[in-house]
Amino acid sequence: MNVLITGAAGYIGTMLIERLAHSDSIDAIYGIDIRAQPARCGYCDKLRWICADVAEDEWVSTVDEKVIDVVIHCAYQIRELYGGKRKQQELWNVNGARKVFEFALTSPSVRRVVQLSTVSAYGALPQNSVDRPFSEESPLCEDAYLYGVQKKRVENLLWHLFRRLRPSAHVVVLRLASVSGPRGRFGLNRYGLLSTIAGRFPFLVCGRPDWGRQYLHEDDLIDLVSTLVHLSPRTGYEVFNVAPPDFLDATSIGRLFKKRLVVLPPLLLRALFALLWHGSRGAVTTPAGAWRFLSYPIRIDGSRLQRAYGTEYRYSSLQALMAREGRYADPPRKSLETPVESVGTS
């Protein structure tokens, strides 16, 4: 089969290429990205690189001549751009997704579409509780943080295009917890909101004592997507939460980062984030709505995926967040340096 990966030069895209390149059942991998082919993918003879913006039309005519079996949509500008640059972000994220989905759902050869979404789309809201995990039927309520807002819009777009263009296709939407692992943390120095805040202050701030996070190890994500690529043909529209069951509470996260935990009133945290965002002109990643993701917990139930496809989470949230071991470590390591028992989780 032939696989098309958008955002192929990104964190997840490159790991997918490296993994799928070793599959005997895959003839060619078409990677699309606005950036040049990464050096780490240079060895892959199956890779056909297309340097293009998915929001533009040029790439469509190139891949339209190919027989593509599976489309994996990873392309996304996650970090919010400051000021007028948000218009460009809209083009990349929403219009780009539309182009990819329209291609996939109008190409007869494409039998499966895998869309990488996020748990942020549920919304970090005051009524959230760690005792009531979000299921896949829970409404997507994020209305401020641009990352979650646009992912919510992209999901809605995909659903309507699926219903209108080809309901006989197989679409899988993966709502991911924060992805972490040795490639992201040490190979790419990729740090999210939590690590950014922890790195800039001698303490860890949050807006509520019951705040916390779940983390997904990069190996578990890549194994899952590889499993979906190789599934036998089927039809339907499926949505899955993807995260291990353990939940890292605020106290545990503070201990992991060796930071004193400081709980601020959410409105004060909101003002601090706004000051950092505008004062740095976006250099500090604290855009509108981000303060809520350090105030109100989003805990998801990722068990439906296990029941549907028999997949297992090899790594806990703790292991994912602090990971130095895994397939993409350099060199690969299998054993934990920090015992799971050393940090409490709930």
Compute φ and ψ for 246, nearest 5 degrees: -75, 150
Q: What is the pLDDT of residue 64?
A: 86
At 263-276, the pLDDT tens digits run: 999 999 999 999 99
| pLDDT at position 334 | 47
Q: Of 52-61, 77-86, 137-146, give the lowest mean pLDDT range.
A: 77-86
Does residue 5 or residue 189 have the better pLDDT?
5
Q: pLDDT value at position 267?
A: 93
pLDDT of res. 207: 92
Confidence of residue 191 (pLDDT cuts 50, 70, 90): low
pLDDT for 256 equals 84
- Contact partners, residue 300, CB within 8 Å, separation at least 6: 119, 122, 133, 134, 135, 175, 177, 214, 241, 243
Please state the rounded mean pLDDT for residues 45-53.
95
**What mean pLDDT value characterizes the chain?**
89
Over range 107-130, report the average pLDDT.
Answer: 96
Cis bond before residue 331 (omega within 30° of 0) = yes
Rounded mean pLDDT, 317-337: 72
* HEC profile of the chain: CEEEEECCCCHHHHHHHHHHCCCCCCCEEEEEECCCCCHHHCCCCCEEEEECCCCCCHHHHHHHCCCCCEEEECCCCCCCCCHHHHHHHHHHHHHHHHHHHHHHHHCCCCCEEEEEEEHHHHCCCCCCCCCCCECCCCCCCCCCCHHHHHHHHHHHHHHHHHHHHCCCCEEEEEEECEEECHHHHHHCCCCCHHHHHHHHCCEEEECCCCCEECEEEHHHHHHHHHHHHCCCCCCEEEEEEECCCCCEEHHHHHHHCCCEEEECCHHHHHHHHHHHHHHCCCCCCCCCCHHHHHCCCCCECCHHHHHHHCCCCCCCHHHHHCCCCECCCCCCECCCCCCHHHCCCC
| pLDDT score for 338 | 32
Cα-based angle 261, 263, 268 (whole degrees, multiple of 5): 135
pLDDT band of residue 344 (cuts 50, 70, 90) is: very low
pLDDT tens digits for range 221-239: 999 999 999 999 999 999 9
Quick one: pLDDT at residue 325? 86
Average pLDDT over every residue of 23-51: 93
Q: Is a pLDDT exceeding 90 seen at residue 70?
A: yes
How confident is the model at residue 303, as a pLDDT? 94
93-103: average pLDDT: 96
Burial of residue 135 (CB within 10 Å: 0-12, 13-18, 19+) is middle
The residue whose two tokens read 């740090």 is: 191
Amino acid letter, 100: V
Please state the rounded mean pLDDT for residues 81-86.
Answer: 81
Q: Does the structure show a pLDDT above 90 at 151?
A: yes
Say yes or no to pLDDT of 164 above 70.
Answer: yes
> Crossing angle, helix 218-229 and helix 11-20, to 10 degrees?
50
Indicate if the pLDDT at residue 335 is higher than 50. no
**Has residue 254 got a pLDDT over 90?**
no
Confidence of residue 326 (pLDDT cuts 50, 70, 90): confident
Indicate if the pLDDT at residue 287 is higher than 80: yes
